[in-house]
Structure 1
């Protein structure tokens, strides 16, 4: 245990330290006297050292600052790249929607031009394209459950695509106008000359029309449309009248009984997406 003398000695030392601290603080705040001179002296000695140290450390501070800025810049770049990718995706979706709306508008114009009577349009999407170079068939995502039946016309924004062939519950195959087995009665819109259209059998951009009138004048650039039902009601046409097909490009053996009219179709069967099936009321289907 400590004796009383030791305790008194420690208390005296503590009191002395407190008094000395008060005196030094008072002198320091006063800014005068020996303490102030000592402070100024110390500052004069230390200040050049601090300046040299600051200059020496500046490259290291700049280097750490560069690393910090680079780190933040990389983070900002990742954010910008992510935003850019999101905008690209949104732009792609908007462009796809615009294309669909344009196709829909074109299809509606074709339907409005044609005399479809009691046919009801059913929108469909091409899900399987023809694997052959002749582009003879495609598969659509609508079938018997949607009112689609064999033989019904199929159109798109450009005009006639073909006709429905095989139908199942939720899909159907469509025979295209470029199939050599396809045929349709047609009419030249400007002159009214009629004929039968078939595929050339090797070129998806070339259809052949054999006219029925000798010396019938056919002009290059004339529009070819479907003829529709003939006067013989026993053989009604599968296609309503006035569906656009294409334009006349050349005429072989013009003015003869065997003249052949070459027609470039409006529809590019190699790039089909959305189409419309002109369906009949189920009650009228045999």
Structure 2
């Protein structure tokens, strides 16, 4: 629109009309013509507005839900991280307690045998070393370890040191087929040699083919004069089978080792041998067999001489039991 005199006059007229309408609306209240017009407009456009709102609200709700789901996802992720950390802590505490128990048991074994030991942890298994039954421990030359030292844990003989590095060492386990150790029986002191058989029991050959051996007998290491490669008195295992001798000069035994070679963790390397042979002091106390309860049935004899298992007396042939002091019907009189 061009800025002319007529246009300016029209603008002033429109402004004056607007002020007049506002004044009339304020003075008239709810009965004013503008209020009636406003209500008519609301009646006409209200359904349209509600329809638009109904169409727009789900979209807004969806946007809000997406925004809230992101917050919930972050909260769930945080909770999952906290739970994982808590589980790791609990697992670590349980593992620490288990190791503490193993260490305490090993120290008791070393104390019983008067062995000076250096504690170590298994850090690798033999799968990376030629598939032999060996483990690597985190102690080496700088810890005072040398070749052919005895390795034990709280259960008994683990093996012997074969190679030594500055901070690690390799241990040949007692169940390796190349492993051999001198043994001595607990009570009879019969000597022999134990050889590993992998995941099977140890094979022990006694020097005395006529030795008396039974299932459950226990063996310890025999040792040597130089205490290498084995110190004396370390528990080896117990007999689970005695093979027939068949007149041979030696006696073959199958011995279950005390040590679980597939679950080694904390071990001790004997760096100082005992002053004297501990003999059988390192072996745990023998387990006493529990007595088996037996049931005894007592039979009570009846008046006619038969036994009633229930303990009740049985009636005589005539259906009555004689009273005390009365003779039986077939009793013969006696003469003085």
Length-normalised TM-score, structure 2: 0.63
How far the C-alpha of 1:252 sits from its partner, in A, is: 0.9
- Per-residue Cα deviation, 1:124-179 (whole angstroms, up to 9, x for no partner): 333352544551x3332211101112222112354321111222322222222123
Q: Mapping of 1:111-190 within 5 angstroms?
A: 111-114=107-110, 115-117=112-114, 119-130=116-127, 131-135=129-133, 137-189=134-186
Q: How many residues align?
A: 267
Q: Could you tell me which of 239, 242, 254 is aligned with 1:262?
A: 254
**In 1, are the aligned partners of 2:237 and 2:255 still within 8 Å (CA)?**
yes
Q: Paired residue for 1:20?
A: 20
How far the C-alpha of 1:41 sits from its partner, in A, is: 2.3
Note if 1:196 corresponds to 2:192.
yes
For structure 1, which runs of at least 5 residues remain unmatched after alignment?
282-286
**In 1, are the aligned partners of 2:157 and 2:236 still within 8 Å (CA)?**
yes
Distance 2:190 2:100 in 1: 29
Distance 1:247 1:24 in 2: 115
Residues 149 and 175 (structure 1), Cα distance of their counterparts in 2 relative to 1, 3 Å cut: same
For structure 2, which runs of at least 5 residues remain unmatched after alignment?
274-336
Query: Quick one: higher RCO (CA 8 Å, sep 6+), 1 or 2?
Result: 1
Larger Rg, first or second structure (1 or 2): 2
Q: Paired residue for 2:76?
A: 80
Q: Paired residue for 2:239?
A: 248
- Per-residue Cα deviation, 1:65-122 (whole angstroms, up to 9, x for no partner): 3464256436634653564366446535643553354244224313313434251323
Q: Mapping of 1:210-225 within 5 angstroms?
A: 210-213=205-208, 215-225=210-220
**In 1, are the aligned partners of 2:122 and 2:266 still within 8 Å (CA)?**
yes
Note if 1:33 corresponds to 2:24.
no
Q: Paired residue for 2:267?
A: 275
Q: Paired residue for 2:291?
A: none
Distance 2:182 2:62 in 1: 78
How far the C-alpha of 1:242 sits from its partner, in A, is: 4.3
Residues 91 and 221 (structure 1), Cα distance of their counterparts in 2 relative to 1, 3 Å cut: farther
Q: Could you tell me which of 92, 102, 105 is aligned with 1:106?
A: 102
Secondary structure of the 1:37 match is helix
**In 2, are the aligned partners of 1:228 and 1:240 still within 8 Å (CA)?**
yes
